[in-house]
């Protein structure tokens, strides 16, 4: 027993020494890790479906399902554990996972996830307590960063509960510096809910930043929780207006995790997924991967639609026009292609005639021009996976209620 205590003291002394070395050695050069999230991150997060009902068995089963379902091969690589994984801090202030929920420890869990060709993400908060009342990182940023590095964590979602008196720029920059000084590349996801307009300052702090409050699995409007509200998919979409100029490779607007497979109709899920791809938003699934329906799987794994999201140009799409709750969206792509999406927000089908030759679609922010008067594009319907003509002809489509017509315009 004495020998064990001595070994424990030696290990703790090592980490304390390492902590101070990391704090002071590279402080001036601290930055976010570059060459990460050059396209919007893709993965899964535990919160939307499971909230605090998480444990290592669920995470392992989800990792297995990500592989067996084909989601990993479609590009979903992050398995992100959200709130409530935390146990207690030890006498030196280092955080440990809940021993009942995660008896094998986070290092073993990370090793398992990595063995599946996936990456492991974790959650903390800039305040004293997380939103679920667990120990957060305020005053322990450098300790936590070193701990995450030791565990092999690849992604950190950093929330904003219990932060009275804190400045978000300073708080998030402190954690950014701590992560960088720990030396292990981690995607840094800022979850400040858009209150301080992080799109105006977070490009050099994190790889993505939440632009709104929490999402809910509903089509439009909000869900009242008493002291706060969460937002339906269309309301979240509307909140993205005016933000596209701030996004690009390595720094993305984040309209929150997806609710595909969590109770909306298949039409609504398809529209939700399509619009997140048009927004170049992070594609973080939030459903029960191990028990999803065939329809949910087909939506999440549509590689042609995912390609719109993952386009290396990294330009967020824009709303070109709106009439009678039917929106027309465009998104510039590599090699002169464009994504084209008709979103029907109505409760009844919409019959649409679109004459490309009469439309002058120009992206003035990123200097892109469709030039429909001089360039002909093939139209590839991304959901039926069929060619439906060219832009030389009048496009006639019927878009079901709460659904989309989404196409890739392929430059000939």
Q: The CATH number of the domain where 330 resides is what? A: 2.60.40.1180
Taking the CB of residue 98, how many other CB atoms lie within 10 A of it?
16
User: pLDDT for 357-408, tens place per residue?
Assistant: 999 999 999 999 999 999 999 999 999 999 999 999 999 999 999 999 999 9
Residue 190 and residue 280 share a domain: yes
Distances (CA, A) of 223 to 82, 218, 264, 309: 21, 9, 14, 28
Beta bridge partners of 119: 78
The stretch 186-190 carries a mean pLDDT of 98
Question: Which of 290, 309, 328 lies at the terminal end of a domain, its last residue?
Answer: 309
Residue 173 and residue 67 share a domain: yes
Decide if pLDDT at 310 tops 90: yes
For residue 77, what are its two tokens? 């690589």
The catalytic site residues sit at 159, 214
Query: Which of 101, 90, 144, 140 lies closest to 122, judged by CA?
Result: 144
Decide if pLDDT at 166 tops 90: yes
Residue 302 and residue 197 share a domain: yes
State percent of the chain over pLDDT 70: 93
The stretch 15-22 carries a mean pLDDT of 49
- At residue 23, the pLDDT reads 45
User: pLDDT for 111-145, tens place per residue?
Assistant: 999 999 999 999 999 999 999 999 999 999 999 99
- At residue 10, the pLDDT reads 47
What confidence tier does 25 reach under pLDDT thresholds 50, 70, 90? very low
The stretch 15-24 carries a mean pLDDT of 48
Residue 112 and residue 78 share a domain: yes
Beta bridge partners of 377: 411
Q: The CATH number of the domain where 36 resides is what? A: 3.20.20.70
The stretch 310-323 carries a mean pLDDT of 98
Q: Give the integer Cα–Cα distance in Å for 207 and 198.
A: 11
Which residue segment(s) compose the domain that 357 sits in? 318-411
Q: Give the integer Cα–Cα distance in Å for 244 and 168.
A: 22
Decide if pLDDT at 9 tops 90: no
Residue 395 and residue 261 share a domain: no
What confidence tier does 30 reach under pLDDT thresholds 50, 70, 90? confident
Residue 137 and residue 15 share a domain: yes
The stretch 257-285 carries a mean pLDDT of 98
Contact predicate 124/159, CB 8 Å: yes
Mean confidence (pLDDT) of the chain: 94
Contact predicate 19/175, CB 8 Å: no
Residue 182 and residue 110 share a domain: yes
- At residue 12, the pLDDT reads 52
Residue 126 and residue 99 share a domain: yes
The pairing of beta strand 155-159 with beta strand 187-190: parallel
Residue 138 and residue 99 share a domain: yes
Residue 297 and residue 406 share a domain: no
Question: Which of 264, 288, 309 lies at the terminal end of a domain, its last residue?
Answer: 309
Decide if pLDDT at 340 tops 90: yes
Decide if pLDDT at 56 tops 70: yes
User: pLDDT for 362-374, tens place per residue?
Assistant: 999 999 999 999 9
What confidence tier does 191 reach under pLDDT thresholds 50, 70, 90? very high
The stretch 339-344 carries a mean pLDDT of 98
Residue 204 and residue 68 share a domain: yes
Q: Give the integer Cα–Cα distance in Å for 223 and 207.
A: 28
- Tokens 């979240």 label which residue? 236
- What length is written for the chain? 412
How many domains in the chain?
Answer: 2
Contact predicate 223/204, CB 8 Å: no
Question: Which of 277, 309, 341 lies at the terminal end of a domain, its last residue?
Answer: 309
Query: Which of 233, 312, 288 lies closest to 66, judged by CA?
Result: 288
Residue 341 and residue 279 share a domain: no
The stretch 65-69 carries a mean pLDDT of 98
């Amino acid at each position: 027993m004495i020998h064990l205590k001595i070994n424990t003291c030696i290990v703790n002394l090592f980490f304390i020494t390492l902590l101070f070395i990391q704090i002071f050695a590279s402080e001036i050069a601290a930055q976010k890790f570059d060459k990460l999230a050059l396209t919007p991150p893709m993965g899964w997060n535990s919160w939307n479906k499971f909230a605090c009902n998480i444990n290592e068995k669920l995470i392992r089963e989800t990792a297995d399902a990500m592989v067996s379902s084909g989601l990993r091969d479609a590009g979903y690589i992050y398995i992100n554990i959200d709130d409530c994984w935390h146990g207690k801090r030890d006498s030196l202030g280092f955080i440990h996972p809940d021993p009942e929920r995660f008896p094998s420890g986070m290092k073993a869990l990370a090793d398992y996830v990595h063995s599946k060709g996936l990456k492991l993400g974790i959650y903390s908060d800039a305040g004293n307590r997380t939103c679920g009342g667990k120990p957060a990182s305020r005053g322990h940023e450098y300790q936590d960063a070193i701990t995450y590095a030791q565990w092999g964590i690849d992604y950190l979602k950093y929330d904003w509960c219990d932060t009275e008196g804190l400045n978000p720029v300073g708080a998030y920059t402190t954690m950014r510096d701590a992560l960088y000084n720990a030396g292990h590349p981690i995607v840094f996801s800022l979850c400040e809910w858009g209150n301080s307009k992080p799109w105006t300052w977070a490009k050099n702090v994190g790889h993505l930043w939440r632009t709104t409050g929490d999402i809910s699995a509903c089509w439009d409007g909000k869900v009242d929780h008493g002291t706060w509200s969460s937002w339906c998919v269309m309301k979240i979409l509307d909140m993205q207006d005016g933000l596209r100029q701030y996004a690009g490779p390595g720094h993305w607007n984040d309209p929150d995790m997806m609710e595909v497979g969590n109770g909306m109709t298949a039409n609504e899920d398809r529209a939700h997924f399509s619009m997140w791809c048009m927004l170049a938003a992070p594609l973080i699934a939030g459903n029960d991967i191990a028990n999803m329906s065939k329809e949910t799987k087909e939506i999440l794994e549509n590689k042609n639609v995912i390609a719109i999201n993952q386009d290396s140009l990294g330009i967020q799409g824009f709303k070109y026009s709106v009439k009678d709750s039917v929106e027309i969206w465009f998104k510039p792509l590599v090699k002169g292609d464009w994504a084209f999406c008709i979103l029907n927000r109505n409760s009844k089908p919409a019959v649409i005639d679109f004459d490309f030759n009469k439309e002058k679609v120009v992206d003035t922010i990123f200097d892109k021009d469709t030039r429909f008067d001089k360039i002909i594009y093939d139209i590839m319907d991304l959901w039926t996976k069929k060619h439906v003509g060219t832009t030389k002809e009048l496009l006639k489509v019927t878009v079901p209620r709460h659904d989309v017509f989404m196409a890739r315009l392929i430059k000939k």
